[in-house]
Amino acid sequence: MSLTRSAEATASRTADSRWLELLARAGFIGYGIVHLLFAWLALQIAFGTSSDDGDQSGALRTLSEQPLGKFLVIAVAVGLLAMAIWQALEAAVGHRAERGSERVTERLASAGRTIVYLYFAWTAFKVFKDAGSNSADQQEALTGKLMTSSGGRWLVGLAGLVLAAIGIGLVIYGAVKRFEKHLKTGEMSPKTRQLARRLGMAGYIAKGVAYGISGLLIIVAAVNYDPEKARGLDAALHTLREQSYGMFLLTLVALGIAAFGVYCFLQSRYRKV
């Protein structure tokens, strides 16, 4: 029991580290840049001029091709890793202001964010090392291997359901403005608070739509035994582009993702860390 308390105390001290806070806040800036580039790629898909993956890995490759790009990508990776550590500690010993089921829910959400930030940090590292080949092709190959294994189609379908559920959750999260509870709204001016609310709503809803469509495509791939359908966010954006009024809808999604990128910049200043 004493070892458990000692571990929790150590985790709490680490979570309260000033250096970890600074790195996490810097990570939000990097996360925002990635989403702005992601939005730019989505706009290119909307207008039929895209030549790269329309997802976060494509955004990181775009960043790596700029002056000082390799340095910026590894800086983003470090920031995202700090965000992952911060959220892992939140999942373990954080959210002490909440009670009961709400605390459990917040800790589970932090655990989910830990996985997301670790994935993006690893993607950034692969891009830095020139190992980030076409992510859509990689996902298709992985899905194909899973489908040929025993029970693989069920696993692929389950992954699609989880991703679709995440998409729905993000839409609801944004629509009810739940993200505001994690901001230091008391330190904001009325105009900044209103801006954060609008950017957060637009950003989370747009991301939710993109993830939801991606999840549905993976489910369809599992049902139809068609790995080519399971190509992640890039395929989701192209699928949206192919619908009636697709260019208009995808442009709205791209603008929403850009709004999330700007919202990340506000989080770097006002997020409760």
Q: What is the DSSP string of 128-196?
A: HTT----HHHHHHHHHHHHHHSTTHHHHHHHHHHHHHHHHHHHHHHHHTTGGGGGB-GGGS-HHHHHHH
Window from 45-49, 57-61, 143-147, 247-251 with minimum mean pLDDT: 143-147
pLDDT tens for each residue of 139-160: 555 555 555 665 667 787 788 8
Give the domain ranges of the chain: 134-272
pLDDT, mean over the chain: 81
pLDDT tens for each residue of 210-225: 888 888 888 887 777 6
pLDDT tens for each residue of 106-146: 888 888 889 888 988 888 888 888 754 555 555 555 555 55
pLDDT greater than 80 at residue 87: yes
Percentage of the chain modeled with pLDDT above 70? 79
